[in-house]
Each structure stands twice: as C-alpha cells, then as structure tokens.
Amino acid sequence: MNEQRTQTYLNLINQLLSCNDGDEPRILQENQELLDEGLVQVMVAVAQQYGEAGRENEAQWLLNMAQQLAAALGLSGNETTATANTPQDYFNFLMKTLQKISENSNPQVIYPFWAQNLDKFDENLIEVLDEWARQTLIQVAPQQANFIVTDIFYFSNLIAQFPHGNITTHKEIAITGYEIALTIFTFDAFPQAWARTQTNLGTAYSDRIRGDKAENLEQAISCYTKALKVSTFEAFPQDWATTQYNLALAYYSRIRGEKADNLEIAITAYEKALKVLTFDAFPQEWAMTQNNLGEAYRNRIRGDKADNLEKAIDAYKEALNVRTFDAFPQEWADTQNNLAAAYSNRIRREKADNLEKAITAYHEALKVRTFDAFPQGWADTQNNLAATYINRIRGEKADNLEKAIAACQEALKVFTFDAFPQYWAMTQNNLAIAYRNRIRGEKADNLERAITAYEKALKVLTFDAFPQDWAATQNNLAAAYSDRIRGNKAENLEKAIDAYKEALNVRTFDAFPQEWAMTQNNLAAAYSNRIRGDKAENIKQAVMCYQNALQGYETAGDFLNAAEMGLTLGKIKVDRGEWYQGLAYLEKSLKIYRQFDDLKSRADTIYQIAHTHHLIGNHEKASIYYRDALRFYEYLKHDRGVAFCQASLGRLMLQIGFVEKAEELLKKATFIFKELNNEQEIAKIAEVLNCLAKIKEKQAV
C-alpha cells in the first residue's frame, strides 16, 4: 500500500469520524472508489491506536465499520458470516426484531440487541424480509397485515438511523421495508400512514449510497411530492412542514433538471416549511431551515444577486440566534462559515467592511473546525479564508496574499487529489489566483506557479462535470497567460484569447450576464494588447467586447463595473477621434459614479470629460471639468492625478492666452512628475515650457 493511498484512507476515516450524524452514507457514496480491503486494514489499525489512546467510542465505531465493510466486500469475515448464518437464523432474528419493536420501538431498547447481531444485517436479511412479508401479508387478515407492516415501518425507521454496521446495507433494508409497508398502507385505505411512509422512503432514497445519485434524488422527490397529497398544511401541518423541508433539500441537491429551476423550488419549499417550523415552536428545526434557506439564496441564479445575498445573510443571522457556540458548536461553525461566504460575495454596503466581516466569521468557524476534530471542515474554511484574503482591501496587500497562499497550502493537506478531487481543484484555483497577484517573490516564477495550478484544477473541473467552475478557471488561466513574462508574448496572448473564448461557451449573456461581462472585459483587454492579426481589427474586436461587457454589467445591475466599462469605451472612442461618442460614454459613467463613493473613478472620468472637451475646442467646459477633477485629486492626495490635471490645464491656459497661469501650472506639474520619476511627462512639459518661453520673448519685444 503506497503512502499517498494510505493518506487518502486516513482522510476518509477523519471525514467519517467528524461528520454530522447521518452524513456517513453521503460520504461513503462520494468515495466509493476507496471502499476496498486497504481501507479495512487502515480502519483496523487506526481503531487499535484509538483504543490504546483511550478513545474507546471511536475505536469501537471504526471496528464495526471495518467489519461491515469487509462483509460487504466479500472478504474473509463475510465468508464466515455467510456460512455461519442459515436462512432460519435470519428468519429467527427478523421475528425477534419485529417482536421487540411491537413491544417497544425505542432505539435504546432495539439498538443494543442489534449491536449483538451485526452479522445478520446483509443482503440475506433483505431477501428474508421481502419474501416472508410478501407471502405472509396475502395470507393474514387485513387487521393483522396492518399490525405487521406497522412493525416493518418502525423497523425501517430504526435501521435507517442505526449508526453501527454496514450503513449502505441499512439504507437498502429501510427502502425494502418501506416498499413492503406501502403494499398495505395504500393511499385509499390508510392515507396518513401512506404519506408518512412516502416521506420516509423519500429520505431513504435521498441518503442512499447505492445506485445512481441522480436517480435516487428523483425517487426522493417523487416520494415527497406524493406525500404532500395527504400531508397538507391544513390537515397535518407538522408533517407538511417536514416534507416541504425534505423536498427542499432534494431539489437543492438535484442533479437533473435546470439548476435555476431547482433552486427556486427549494427556496419556495423552505419558506413554506417556516410557516410551521417557527422559532417558538421548533427552534432547532427553524434554525436548520434558516441556514439551508440562506444557502439556497446564496447560490440562487435567478433574481437580483444583491437581494439574494442580503436574504442569505439575514437567514444565517437568524439561524445563529439558536445555533450558538455553547449550545450547538458544530452547527454554529457551519453557519459562521456560510455567513462568511455570503459576506465575501456581498454587493451592498462597503466592500472592505464586508470582507472584514467575512474574515472574522471564518476565524470564528475555525474555533470549532480544527484540523484534528473536523479536518474536512477545517480545510474548507481555510480555502474560503484564502479566497477572502485574495480580495481583501484593508491591510497590506502583500501580506494578504501571503496569508492566502498559506491558507491554500493548509487546505491542501486535507484536500488531496485522490481524497477530495473537487475541493482539491477549487483550492488549486484559489492558490493560482493568489500566485498570479502575488507581490513578493519573483513575478515570472509566481505566474508560472499560477498557470501550473490552474492547469491542475482543470484536470477535475471539466466542461462536462463542472461547467461553471471550468469556465471560471478558463477565465483565470487566460488572465495568467495575458500577464505571463516567460515564453513568447504573442503566443501567450493567443492562449489567453482562446481560453477566454472557451469560458464564454458557458458564461453566456442569458445565463450568467455578470460573468459574461467580466470575461468580455478581459477578452477586450487581450485583443487590445494582441500582437498577431491586423491591429485595426483587433481594436475593433476589443471595442465590441467592451460594449458587450457594458451591456452585461447593466443587465446584472452591477453599475460600478458598468461605469468602468463606459470610462474605458469613452477613452478608446476619444483616442480614435470619435469624440462625441466617447463623450456620451463618459457622461453616462459620471452619472453613475456620482451615486457611489468611488471618488478616484469619479475624478478619472471628470478628467477624461475635460480632455474630450479640450480636444473638441470647448475650452470653457474643459477648464471647468479640469478644475473639478483637480479638486478631487487634491482631496484624495493623488499626486499623479494632480500632476496630469495641472499639466492639461496649463496647456489649455496657454491656448486661450493666459501665459502666466499656464507657466505656473506647468511648473507645478513638473515638480510632481519629478517626485514620481516620470521622465516622459517631464519631457512633454519641457517642450511646452520652451514654446511658452518663446511666446514671452515675443511679447517682451
């Protein structure tokens, strides 16, 4: 057994030990490729270590899991079980079980008996149960049949939650039992029992490990939908709410159908459930539903993105009124992690404040999500924290990026390619972003590391499996190639353009207007810098992409980015001599910037408007706008902006005959440009000052 495979087994074992109750089936299904003899051996070894360390409960749980896994895999233990237990043994065990359930269905009574008979929970028991029940139910009186299936119904409920033994088989036994119950609990004869059985069968299919996950979820949705024919709000409000909650979970996880549609149905179902699952009546269920509703809103595709994130934040905060650190530490940490993700993406309020709140919430989550206790949760939060540090506005940028890189590297201790391929790829993506923007270290080296990490991520994030993530990674890879120092510059830009175009196969205007706009903006920049092809055609393509980006941002309601696109387009149009078209873009952008606090962008736009009026010959308007821009730059202490305004205003003053004022402004600009070591602008002003000196000489004569 190689070291990497062993580490992968250990990661899976840590997942199983640290997950929420009931999550084991999902984890096992997601890691079916690891269910082999090697895992059994490592489980036994870890159980022995835990036993020696005094961690008896975990040791016993692992031994039970190893035993049942060995049985399911047909290893030696299972062969013994197969020969040791006769059909009569299974039948006797089933009869004893049903008798005990009939007398008292309390898990504290049933589970100890089952723990002594773990070898009976296999495929043979399913066959015995199915054959005996179907033969018996057609022979006994209706009332007796009702009693039998009632016991089988409770048997299924109990086995579905039984924490020991082979969980995969437990789910199959539960499904078989519920399906048997439905032969007697029909819609017409026993509508309420039929509905409850449908709900529980739906949950068993949702949690099922065997079979196709997509098909299992379809079965679950079908069962829940059937149950709601009887479990109505008016007749059975609590059953109705529970089924609505389960239906929401299934639609949220649904693989088939349109993702946007599934999320809308999930949100509607969660909100219905909250009509009954109130804070006062069912505080824990209310908090759980609020948390999940927050997740649905955070990932929602339809509706206004900003509104969705506000609703998500509100829902998480509601959940935290119940999910406190002291009462429910694990659930508290989960919700803190989710709240942080919402703050990271928040559109409203001050971006810098939102990111600080996200960082704080992630650190809160890490108080519970430690490497030892919850390795997967710890790694997930580390990865999320990395993404937030990448985007952080406050603090030293270089420090933030180093923290992001460190957090990614921590996450990769758990998120390996073998154990967690999707999370590994996501972390590689974040690591790549951090390296692409890194300030410390050699820039060329950082970009190579970024490209390598993006290409690793694309091994998992394929177009077919993860189209949105694939598109995002293609977009980011393109940006890295655009900036690349090593290799052939022209070839790098071609690779960038190709990758941006790939991303646009998923990031369409209709489906993802904001992401479409972002990639169009990036593609425009690549065309602007392109070396190959006809220069005029490249600029034409760039303008078209910028116009697409503007349309996308406006459609998505991202007005600040729309204003930035207008500013960019305005500058391009003006540079090409299309002054009035450029001016229209610039004035539209200024209207937007006046509604926000981005004073630097407002100043830049005012300066460009002044420059355009200057070119057109509207000297009075040019003077007014130059002076407005200058006031903003001086307020912001933006020396470069101040110098450009002074230089441009100086040239304007010279044109309209104010020679002394022109000289004063140009000399002030020269002084600042010297401080900035901008030799190019100093030389340009020197030429103007020479002309000005000649004018003064003529005036003196």
352-368 pLDDT per residue, tens: 999 999 999 999 999 99
Question: Sign (positive/negative) of CA torsion 690, 696, 698, 701?
Answer: negative
Judgement on whether residues 477 and 550 belong to the same structural domain of the protein: yes
Give residue 680's pLDDT. 96
Give percent above pLDDT 70 in the chain: 96
**Is residue 512, in this structure, part of any structural domain at all?**
yes
CB atoms within 10 A of CB 637: 8
Q: Is the pLDDT of residue 609 over 80?
A: yes
**Is residue 413, in this structure, part of any structural domain at all?**
no
Tens digit of each residue's pLDDT (9 = 90 or more) over 409-468: 999 999 988 878 889 999 999 999 999 999 999 999 999 999 999 999 999 999 988 899
Contacts of residue 421, Cβ cutoff 8 Å, sequence gap at least 6: 460
Judgement on whether residues 622 and 642 belong to the same structural domain of the protein: no
Asked which of 43, 73, 103 is the last residue of a domain, the reply is 73
Give percent above pLDDT 90 in the chain: 81
**Is residue 268, in this structure, part of any structural domain at all?**
no
Judgement on whether residues 465 and 552 belong to the same structural domain of the protein: yes
**In the chain, helix, strand, coil percent, each to 5?**
75, 0, 25
User: pTM score, two decimals?
Assistant: 0.72
CB atoms within 10 A of CB 283: 15
Three-state DSSP class for residue 266: helix
Average pLDDT rounded to a whole number, residues 203-212: 90
Asked which of 618, 636, 654 is the last residue of a domain, the reply is 636
The DSSP annotation for 360-377 comes to HHHHHHTTTS-TTT-HHH
Q: Which domain holds residue 503?
A: 461-556
Give residue 50's pLDDT. 67
The residue length of the chain stands at 701
**Is residue 32, in this structure, part of any structural domain at all?**
yes
Average pLDDT rounded to a whole number, residues 187-200: 97
Q: How many domains does the chain have?
A: 4
Print the SS3 string covering 166-221. CHHHHHHHHHHHHHHHHHHCCCCCCHHHHHHHHHHHHHHHHHCCCCCHHHHHHHHH
Tell me how far CA of residue 348 lies from CA of 303, 400, 461, in angstroms.
15, 23, 30
Place of tokens 């309601």: 557
End-to-end CA distance of the chain: 97
Three-state DSSP class for residue 283: helix
**Is residue 503, in this structure, part of any structural domain at all?**
yes
**Is residue 494, in this structure, part of any structural domain at all?**
yes
Judgement on whether residues 618 and 689 belong to the same structural domain of the protein: no
Q: What is the CATH number of the domain that holds 618?
A: 1.25.40
Q: Is the pLDDT of residue 71 over 70?
A: no
CA 436 to CA 428: how far, in whole Å?
A: 12
Tens digit of each residue's pLDDT (9 = 90 or more) over 157-172: 999 999 888 888 999 9
Judgement on whether residues 60 and 8 belong to the same structural domain of the protein: yes
Judgement on whether residues 551 and 470 belong to the same structural domain of the protein: yes
Give residue 76's pLDDT. 41
Asked which of 29, 47, 73 is the last residue of a domain, the reply is 73
Amino acid symbol at 604: D
Burial class for 104, CB neighbours closer than 10 Å (0-12, 13-18, 19+)? exposed
Helices (H) and strands (E) in the chain, counts: 33, 0
**Is residue 395, in this structure, part of any structural domain at all?**
no
Give residue 309's pLDDT. 97
Tokens for 356? 């600080």
**Is residue 42, in this structure, part of any structural domain at all?**
yes
